[in-house]
Amino acid sequence: MNPALDSAALSHLLTMAGLEVEALDPVAADFSGVVVGQVLSVAPHPDADRLRVCQVEAGTGNPLQIVCGAPNVAEGVRVPCALIGASLPGFEIRKAKLRGIESQGMLCSARELGLTEEADGLLLLPDDAPVGKNIRDYLHLDDKLYTLKLTPNRSDCLSVVGVAREVAALTGSPLSLPRIVPATVTGSLARRVQVTAKQGCPRYCGRVISQLNRAARTPAWMIERLSRSGLRSISPVVDITNYVLLELGQPLHAFDLGKLAGDIQVRMAAAGETLTLLNDQRATLEADMLVIADDNGVQALAGIMGGAATAVDENTSEIFLEAAYFNPDAIAGRARRLGLSTDSSHRFERGVDYAATRNALERATALILEICGGAAGAITEVSGDLPQRAPVVLRSARASKVLGVTLSDARVEELLGRLSLNFQREGAVYRVTPPSYRFDLNIEEDLIEELARLYDYDNIVAQAPVARLSMLPQPEHQRGVDALRTLLTARDYQEVITYSFVDAAWEADFAPGAQPVTLKNPIASQMGVMRSTLLGGLMDVLRNNLNRRQDRVRIFESGRCYLPAVEGFDQPQRLAGLVYGDAMSEQWGSAARNVDFFDVKADIEALYSPQRARFEKSVHPALHPGQCAEIWLDDVHAGWLGSLHPRLSQQYDLATAPVLFELSLQTLLGRMLPKHGEISRFQSARRDLAVIVDESIPVQTLIDAMYAARVEGIAEIALFDVYRGKGIDSDKKSLAFRVLLQDTQKTFTDTEVDAVMAIFTDLLKQKFNAQLRS
């Protein structure tokens, strides 16, 4: 396949089709004037022990005299030769004299050509390298490296063949795949295979290849391709399995047959079994891990990595070559548990073409026989219940509606054909059967996306939406969260945003009665549960600020908390705040003091205004027993306010206790509508009422009782003095209330005011045993 596109155009085409090209790099630095040269003779330099005077044939007609200091220069070798005028990375080649001897060029190492960062000597070329040929052409140095950033659903593109299929579909170019011919069976050796974990391994293929040539070497073309794909050459057999992995996307593994004992067993590991892997890591296996074993025990971690005990080495002459389809559910997550990430696990976790397993084995066999010689035995195959690809219904009318373009039936059929998708047409409905390598095609929307990719997103014209526009209702009795944010920032708070994933220890500290929602797969050990309170995140922000010498902190956060419910989860929205340090920023106008409970209480009252929130003394496990209040709005529980519990202040190493609050956001979003009321032209009447009551009686209870009496003309009842001390019993307190009376039709007389005060006096005496203070 050779599409009529340059590298940049192909890169754009792939990216727009969903295969993002993260990088497009040349395989070599830019240089020119370098050809294949052959060293004809080597003589010592008369004035330098480390230099040699070489006669080099470079296809110029006459041999060139070149002075060289490389340790591996020798008669007969073929190496890159930079001619006079050549441009190399960072410098140019000119005619020069080295210690009095003229040099007509330079013999080059891989580092001097920009191919590697380090080199021990000249870059030695094969003996059949054509002398005088441009080295860029000979080593294919004008190629480009595409780095694709694939999404997890496109496992079919984790191979050269998979990307080639995409390019063929996108460009309409003919697809030319590697020709795979089953190997002629000339060997008699075989190994029996037993698959007990059939759900994890629905297909397993293997064959013995014997009489391998131990002196065989990986050909240069394969080493080059592996290197450009980020893999180093190890040995011919291992290189071939890696090459087929990159070419076809099918991981393979070769066992040294002489190191295997008995039958090949594909089974689940026994908990506690151990395996020394190829990277010398000793892994302790778990019962849900799929393994390849023999009579001696586990020899490989299926789909992840082979074991060191049966690894192929330079003495291997017989191998057992395996190719299998492992269910993604049996592989996913196992490598990460062991701290591994391999090319095999990366593919098996996402899905490998289960129909190409045998072909991949045949492809690898052919390469091994070609490079290493040997005799191939018959393939042993064990198959179970392979995945079934159910037909997916595609409606052309639906596709046109979703994409916003009209696709004719002929166009739909053409695009499906370019994707090599088998389908049956029933009118305007297509029943499409996804191929075995496309695990991402499951619903109609997946097929519509495929049509869009091939049609080209650039060809889909953006259209403005056509819809009726109407004003959304904005009830006056509701306000948005932004209004609360504005109010708090005006009162010197700063908003923060913290993670919904929190440390389980925070939940134990700030919400010990709650049962936090535990995450099955946390992204970090300290983020293992969902928060049931916002206080833990605020405390973490406080500590971060204190560690950076910010000793005055006023912060708030609005967000969801997460609580288990009978069905699913409750996700209440809350608003929480934390205040620490000085009540005001450092200044000269007033004495410095720490913020206290009542400062924050005023902020909360401002949030609820003009509604009246009620504060009742209560107990919260994270708050100070004597500085804690439960907040109510009418009969609805609204939240908590209080100073941090001394135990937690000591635990978090705080010099003073911060004041915290957490409120139900729903109770804050409602507000009272303004009502018209006549402004009185008459003077108000004030009377003070001082009573002595038990210390345990809350002030708010007395105020609520007086308002509940519904005495006409009452404009305000407010506490203005609390007294404890001389003349008052230790279990009593004196409370002084201001009572304002005002009417729109008249001025209250002293007699009327006295009657009102008598009502309140009798009320407080009967309900609370209150005594007038003389």
pLDDT of residue 1: 56
In a domain, residue 272? The reply is: yes
- Is the separation of the CB atoms in 636 and 667 below 8 Å? yes
For residue 450, say whether it is annotated as part of any ligand binding site: yes
Region 415-441: mean pLDDT is 92
Q: Is the pLDDT of residue 513 over 80?
A: no
The burial of 653, by beta-carbon neighbours within 10 Å (0-12 exposed, 13-18 middle, 19 or more buried), is given as exposed
Residues with Cβ within 8 Å of 140's Cβ and at least 6 positions away in sequence, in order, are: 27, 224
Residues 339 and 411 in one domain: no
DSSP for residue 74: -
pLDDT for 462-484, tens place per residue? 877 778 888 888 888 888 899 99
CATH of the domain at 255: 3.50.40.10
For residue 120, say whether it is annotated as part of any ligand binding site: no
Region 215-234: mean pLDDT is 91
- Is the separation of the CB atoms in 516 and 507 below 8 Å? yes
CATH of the domain at 54: 2.40.50.140
Determine if the peptide bond prior to 610 is cis (ω within 30°).
yes
In a domain, residue 185? The reply is: no
Residues 122 and 153 in one domain: no
Residues 245 and 323 in one domain: yes
Distance between CA atoms of residues 324 and 264, nearest Å? 13
- Single-letter code of the amino acid located at 263: D
Q: Is the pLDDT of residue 21 over 60?
A: yes
Residue 503, number of CB atoms within 10 A of its CB: 19
Residue 500, number of CB atoms within 10 A of its CB: 17
pLDDT band for position 154 (cuts 50, 70, 90): very high
pLDDT of residue 211: 94
Region 302-313: mean pLDDT is 94
Q: Find the domain containing 313 and state its range.
A: 193-383
pLDDT for 124-143, tens place per residue? 998 889 999 999 999 989 88
Residues paired with residue 300 on neighbouring β-strands, in sequence order: 292, 306
Distance between CA atoms of residues 427 and 434, nearest Å? 20
Residue 240, number of CB atoms within 10 A of its CB: 25
The burial of 444, by beta-carbon neighbours within 10 Å (0-12 exposed, 13-18 middle, 19 or more buried), is given as middle
For residue 440, say whether it is annotated as part of any ligand binding site: yes
pLDDT for 650-660, tens place per residue? 999 999 999 99
Looking at every residue in the chain, the average pLDDT score rounds to 91
Residues 718 and 751 in one domain: yes
DSSP for residue 88: E
Residues paired with residue 556 on neighbouring β-strands, in sequence order: 495, 577
What are the structure tokens assigned to 336, written together?
Answer: 């990460």
- Is the separation of the CB atoms in 173 and 2 below 8 Å? yes
For residue 444, say whether it is annotated as part of any ligand binding site: no
CATH of the domain at 15: 3.30.56.10
> Dihedral of the CA atoms 285, 289, 294, 298 (nearest 10)?
-20
In a domain, residue 301? The reply is: yes
pLDDT of residue 262: 92
Region 228-250: mean pLDDT is 94
The burial of 49, by beta-carbon neighbours within 10 Å (0-12 exposed, 13-18 middle, 19 or more buried), is given as exposed
pLDDT for 523-535, tens place per residue? 888 888 999 999 9
pLDDT for 701-720, tens place per residue? 899 899 988 888 898 999 99
Q: Please report the beta strands in 498-566, taking only residues with DSSP state E, as ranges in sequence order.
A: 501-502, 517-518, 529-530, 553-560, 563-564
Region 59-70: mean pLDDT is 90
- Single-letter code of the amino acid located at 639: G
pLDDT of residue 50: 85
CATH of the domain at 724: 3.30.70.380
In a domain, residue 107? The reply is: yes
Q: Which of 417, 388, 251 is nearest to 325 (CA)?
A: 251
| Structural domain ending residue among the three candidates 96, 121, 138 | 138
pLDDT for 664-699, tens place per residue? 999 999 877 777 777 888 888 899 999 999 988 988
- Is the separation of the CB atoms in 18 and 154 below 8 Å? yes
- Is the separation of the CB atoms in 214 and 314 below 8 Å? yes
Do the strands 380-383 and 264-268 form a parallel or antiparallel pair, or are they unpaired?
unpaired
pLDDT band for position 568 (cuts 50, 70, 90): confident
Region 577-589: mean pLDDT is 90
| pTM for this predicted structure | 0.64
Q: CA geometry: angle at 747 spanning 743 and 751, to 5°? A: 110
- Is the separation of the CB atoms in 672 and 633 below 8 Å? no
| Structural domain ending residue among the three candidates 361, 383, 405 | 383
Q: Is the pLDDT of residue 555 over 90?
A: yes
In a domain, residue 176? The reply is: no
Residues 499 and 442 in one domain: no
Residues 325 and 262 in one domain: yes
Distance between CA atoms of residues 684 and 678, nearest Å? 14
pLDDT of residue 276: 94
pLDDT for 330-344, tens place per residue? 999 999 999 999 999
Region 228-243: mean pLDDT is 93
Q: Which of 68, 166, 145, 147 is nearest to 109 (CA)?
A: 68
- Single-letter code of the amino acid located at 361: L
Distance between CA atoms of residues 346 and 351, nearest Å? 9
- Single-letter code of the amino acid located at 432: V
In a domain, residue 1? The reply is: no
- Residue by residue, what is the 3-state secondary structure of 238-269? HHHHHHHHHHHCCCEEEEEHHHCCCCEEEEEC
Q: How many helices (H) and strands (E) does the chain have?
A: 20, 41
Residues 41 and 156 in one domain: no
pLDDT for 351-369, tens place per residue? 999 999 999 999 999 999 9
Q: Is the pLDDT of residue 91 over 90?
A: no
Range name among 189-203, 370-384, 718-732 with the lowest pLDDT average:
718-732
Rg (CA), the chain: 41
What are the structure tokens assigned to 574, written together?
Answer: 């809350």
pLDDT for 106-122, tens place per residue? 999 988 888 887 888 99
pLDDT band for position 80 (cuts 50, 70, 90): very high
pLDDT of residue 460: 86
Cα dihedral sign, 460-461-464-466: negative
Helix or strand run (H / E) with residue 634:
none
DSSP per residue over 70-81, as a string? -TT--TT-EEEE
Residues 426 and 503 in one domain: no
Residues 229 and 322 in one domain: yes
Q: Is the pLDDT of residue 762 over 80?
A: yes
Residues with Cβ within 8 Å of 152's Cβ and at least 6 positions away in sequence, in order, are: 350
Quote the number of domains for the chain: 6
Residues 534 and 651 in one domain: yes
Q: Is the pLDDT of residue 424 over 80?
A: yes
Angle in degrees, 0-180, between the axes of helices 481-490 and 597-608, rounded to the nearest 10? 140
Region 411-423: mean pLDDT is 91
Region 183-208: mean pLDDT is 94
Q: Is the pLDDT of residue 247 over 80?
A: yes
